Amino acid sequence: MRHKSFVFIPLLMVSLLRGQDSVFKLDVNVDLTELHVNVFDANDRPIGNLSKDNFRIFEDRAEQKISVFKHEDLPVSLGLVIDNSRSMEPRKQRLDTAALAFVQKSNEQDETFIVHFDDEARLDRDFTGSIPLLEEALAGAKPFGQTAIFDALMMALDHMQLAKHPRKAILLFTDGVDNASKHTLAEAIDATTRARVAVYTVGLLSASDGEKAEDSLLRIAEASGGRAYFPLTLDETRTDMERAARDLREQYTLGYFPSNGSHNGEWRSVRLEVTPPAGMPPFTRLVANYRHGYYEPGATN
Nearest-angstrom CA–CA distance, 177 and 194 = 23
pLDDT given at position 208: 65
The vertex-118 CA angle with 116 and 124, nearest 5°, equals: 25
* CATH for the stretch 77-249: 3.40.50.410
pLDDT given at position 284: 83
The list of the chain residues with pLDDT below 70 reads: 1-30, 207-210, 282, 288, 298-301
pLDDT given at position 240: 87
Query: Partners of 90 in the beta sheet?
Result: none
Q: Can you give the pTM of this predicted structure?
A: 0.84
Give the model confidence (pLDDT) of 128-155 as tens digits: 999 999 999 999 999 999 999 999 999 9
Domain boundaries, the chain: 5-66+253-295, 77-249
Q: Which amino acid is at 153?
A: L
pLDDT given at position 2: 46
For residue 272, which of 8, 12, 66, 21 has the smallest C-alpha distance? 21
284 neighbors 276 (Cβ within 8 angstroms): yes
pLDDT given at position 298: 67
117 neighbors 152 (Cβ within 8 angstroms): yes
- Counting every residue written for the chain, the total comes to 301
Give the model confidence (pLDDT) of 21-35 as tens digits: 444 445 545 578 888
Q: Please give, one letter per residue, the 3-state secondary structure of 95-130.
A: HHHHHHHHHHCCCCCCEEEEEEECCCEEEEEEEECC
